[in-house]
Amino acid sequence: MSLLVVGSVAFDAIETPFGKTDKIVGGAATYIGLSASYFHKPVNLVAVVGGDFPQKDIDLLIHHGVNTAGLQIKKDEKTFFWSGRYHNDMNSRDTLVTELNVLGDFDPIIPEAYQNTEYLMLGNLSPQVQRTVIERLKNRPKLIVMDTMNFWMEIALDELKKTISMVDVLSINDEEARQLSGEYSLVKAAKKILAMGPKYLIVKKGEHGALLFNNEQVFFAPALPLEDVFDPTGAGDTFAGGFIGYIAQTRDISFANMKRAIIHGSAMASYCVEKFGTERLLNLTPDAIEDRVQDFVELVQFEIPLK
């Protein structure tokens, strides 16, 4: 059984009402890889960084069970850089800077040992690169999950739609679902997006939880009310990492198991936001994750008779 993750590995500069960071390590694949590694190892990574990316951070990924055989290092180029500022509600943010750098002409090479992957997580990066990864796999994985963002809807909508038509699960936030579908109602948006090809749609709603749609059913998982939210960056990717990691661990792609995967993804995301960047994801334990999952179960348990 194997899990392949592709996505950005980045430097991020983040501003929240609680503080500001200089360039710290981030990127969709970094968050996904760390999060998924708590459920399934190895996490086979396909990504690219520049010569400015610290070896110690690559070592950290390896230490967590991320296989970096597919991580290209472009010595003379710069790592992808993203900067964002959160509003006071911490639920919405503005992108201040996106410098694609090495991502601009990224050619995702799949090491032979990554072939026959069963689970593929296409983290946020150019939809063309995401599609190339699918096309370069000799056998179609059992489940392809894709995450994307408004940036790609604005500059590469046609490419994005082509890639969306090839995946099983699309994971985006509520604002992006509205932008992609042109519908305000998330139910109508889901119908339109499912008609584009995916069998499942996950709509992330930040502190308001996440929805899972297929053509017949809908499932809602809340987010855990937290005392301290320092930095929501990477929460969506951490969620996706927990989701695909749990599916790879349990090897079950039924709707019922996807519901469990959503709860595990939400538990991971609830940890991610407690500290800046990836910090909180570096030293979790299976017990701590299980405790959070239990918190979710208790949060939604109705013990009052409803009739």
Q: Which residues bind ligand AMP (CB under 6 A)?
A: 8, 10, 12, 26-28, 82, 98, 124-125, 149, 151, 233-237
Nearer to ligand AMP, 140 or 208 (CB): 208
Smallest separation, CB 13 to ligand AMP (Å): 10
* Closest to 119 (Cα-Cα) out of 286, 258, 280: 258
Smallest separation, CB 47 to ligand AMP (Å): 10
Rounded CA gap, 240 and 291, in Å? 19
Smallest separation, CB 27 to ligand AMP (Å): 4
Question: What backbone torsions phi and psi does residue 113 show, to the nearest 5 degrees?
Answer: -65, -15
Rounded CA gap, 125 and 29, in Å? 9
Nearer to ligand AMP, 2 or 148 (CB): 148
Smallest separation, CB 46 to ligand AMP (Å): 13
Smallest separation, CB 53 to ligand AMP (Å): 12
Nearer to ligand AMP, 28 or 34 (CB): 28
Smallest separation, CB 303 to ligand AMP (Å): 34
Rounded CA gap, 96 and 100, in Å? 13
Nearer to ligand AMP, 26 or 108 (CB): 26
Helix 28-36 to helix 255-272 angle (10° resolution) is 110
Long-range contacts, 293-301 (Cβ 8 Å, 24+) = 293/263, 293/264, 293/267, 295/224, 295/267, 296/221, 296/222, 296/224, 296/263, 296/266, 296/267, 297/263, 299/222, 299/224, 299/225, 300/221, 300/222
Nearer to ligand AMP, 54 or 116 (CB): 54
Smallest separation, CB 178 to ligand AMP (Å): 16
Nearer to ligand AMP, 24 or 137 (CB): 24
Nearer to ligand AMP, 181 or 238 (CB): 238
Rounded CA gap, 211 and 220, in Å? 5
Nearer to ligand AMP, 150 or 214 (CB): 150
| One-letter amino acid of 64 | H
Smallest separation, CB 12 to ligand AMP (Å): 5
Q: How far is CA 286 from CA 4, 267, 304, in A?
A: 22, 11, 31
Give the count of alpha carbons within 13 A of 108, CB side only: 28
DSSP states of 120-174 as a string?
EEE-SS-HHHHHHHHHH-SS--SEEEEE--HHHHHH-HHHHHHHHTT-SEEEEEH
